[in-house]
A and B are shown apart, each in its own frame.
Chain A
Amino acid sequence: MTTLLEVSGVSVSFDGFRAINNLSFQIGPAELRAIIGPNGAGKTTFMDIITGKTRPDEGRVIWGDLSRSLLSMSEAQIAQAGVGRKFQKPTVFEDQSVEENLLMALSNPRGPLAVLFYKPAKADLARVAELADEIGLRAQLFRKAGELSHGQKQWLEIGMLLAQDPKLLLVDEPAAGMTPEEREHTTQLLVEAAKTRAVVVVEHDMEFIRRLGCRVTVLHEGSVLAEGSLDHVTSNQDVIDVYLGR
């Protein structure tokens, strides 16, 4: 199996506290993976390292066919290389319309000059409309994102991620604050997305992960505790002790 992202032997400490401890992780180009772990297990720090927000003290992060190291790239370069990230709390640009949010995310040239002279092409607008349909915000296209409900903002952010067309999607607690129907819809979207790209989902909700039906990685104290199917990891005694048992 080819690998899209390979994290090996990564460690990072904050003021002596080891948030990530010799962590290794791999994911293929079209794979869905769930990451679970108790609070403080290092899930968010893990995402910060991949997206370039945090620099690890040691270890390697290798990306794509060309095996480039993500550690020497800036956040913007990493995002351009194809890593998209959805935050736990929905972060959209609240002062801007849904359409503006989506147009900004659309995978077009990102340089200041190209952006200054950018005019939305027909294809771009069609793609925005299509995405808006998919995330159920077609009627809200010209409303400011700040006026949307919490769930709608989650959707918008997912829509922006899809617009970016990343090779790897990092999704932090996508189902938080969603109704059961919305969760169902989210599940479908993520499973669909994982057919053509790698998707990493960080989630607390076991029921949600069960529906995703994918491999699960359990993090604990900054390293991988267990990996495998959900049934496999939930029957692992270590996992039960540190996480499920409580």
Chain B
Amino acid sequence: MNRSFFAQSPSVLVFLGCLGLATLFVTVLSEAFGIGVLSTSFIKTLGKTLCLCLIAVAMDLVWGYAGILSLGHFAFFGLGGYMIGMWLMYERTREIVESSMSDAVIPPTPQEISDAIGNQIFGVVGSSEFPLIWTFADSLTIQLFLVVAIPGVLAGLFGWLAFRSRVTGVYLSILTQAMTLALSLYLFQNESGLRGNNGLSGLQNLPGVEAGQDVVSMWFFWASALALGLGYLLAARVISGKFGSVIRGIRDNEQRVRFLGYAVESYKLVIFAGTAMIAGIAGALYYPQAGIVNPAEIAPIASIYLAVWVAIGGRGRLYGAVLGAIFVSLVSSYFTGGQAPDINLGFYTIKWVDWWLVMLGISFVLVTLFAPKGLGGLVDLWEDRRRPDRHGADLGPDAGALREKEAVE
């Protein structure tokens, strides 16, 4: 039996191949580097979708493989966006301030420059002082480090408290929602130091870069594709070996894993904090493409969406999460972007902007009830893999355990 990594997980090569081809295809069709069929805003949508795929992969690791239904991972995504956003906004504002002040007869002192930047950034919340958390905003290296460190530390702290008290199942999900809500409410305050409900804006402008948005959008598209490829590879590596065995064991029957001598709480903590860091990276790539990050992005509903993507794509298989994220977010932007034609029934006009959420909710319920394998199940049909007949028995006693209908032979 061939024990090499790619022989064990053949889907990784297929996935990386598809990702590479898609990247090439989009590049050829782009305005900046190709024949210009795809608009810059569409490139940005695609790039953002790749970031959403990356966080979906993280969600699949934590929910599909370790059985922890976290409804808070989008908070880590948002925090990653805030961390990179601070640097982008500071540097960009500094450039503008310095160039406007350079015309002055007397050269401005560093203090004057700093005050002017502060005034520019925090004027909207009635302040001009730099809060303490902006201490390192002028250093790209430190802010990049914080992109992974802040989500990692927050998730580590939260996970340590929750897991050591043996909080599991729906109670843990509720706790993660509470954490997300608390964070979002905190950021909504002007005193939080991150511009309250205005959030950080103008993130699409890279400081010190002359190139236009058509080129910058491609850079971010490539970076997102690279991050997704590496993240997918990392996730596939993590789940392929004994570590994967242990976390799937924790998903299906954590008590049994304990009696084998594995410290279940440490494993949960590693996977929870690790995926939070991946989410942070995904967010740091997403928000410069979106241009703005504000507390509404961190709202609990966003994290629930994330679970919906993974459920619709099929949890417990990495490509399922990616399929779910691509499918739902692209369809969602089609329906909510006003492109879908309204349906006039005579007595009532169906406006998709209003009805899309209802449709998404219904399809989530239908998928969970009738096709728990989600879109990933189509691959099983194609590969002719059947699901076992277990007479209704799930694959383990725990709440997050793989269900009979999710299993494959």
Question: Taking beta carbons and an 8 Å cutoff, which residues of A are in contact with B?
Answer: 51, 53, 74-77, 79-80, 84-85, 87, 91, 93-96, 100, 103-105, 110-112, 115-116, 118-120, 142, 144, 146-147, 160, 164
Contacts and interface: CB of A to CB of B under 8 A. Distances in A.
Contact of B270 (A95, A100, A112): A112
Nearest to B262: A110
What 5 A-B pairs come out closest when comparing CB atoms?
A: A79-B261, A75-B258, A80-B261, A76-B263, A94-B395
- B interface, over-half SS: helix
A95 B261 contact: no
A104 B252 contact: no
A187 to B, nearest CB: 24
B115 to A, nearest CB: 48
Interface string B232-276: 000000100111011011001101101111111011001000000
A91 B390 contact: no
Contacts of A142: 1
Given A94-B395, A112-B266, A142-B1, A104 B246 contact: yes
Contacts of B255: 53, 75
Nearest to A142: B1
Interface size range on B against A:
20 to 34
A76 B395 contact: no
Contacts of B409: 144, 147
A93 B244 CA distance: 12
B158 to A, nearest CB: 18
A24 to B, nearest CB: 24
A118 B395 contact: no
Given A74-B263, A76-B263, A104 B243 contact: no
B202 interface: no
7 contacts: A77-B263, A95-B395, A100-B242, A104-B260, A110-B261, A144-B409, A146-B390
A144 B388 CA distance: 10
Most B CB within 10 A of own CB, among A76, A80, A120:
A76
Most A CB within 10 A of own CB, among B245, B264, B402:
B245
Contacts of B395: 94-95, 146
Given A76-B264, A93-B245, A112-B267, 4 more contacts: A110-B261, A112-B266, A119-B241, A144-B409
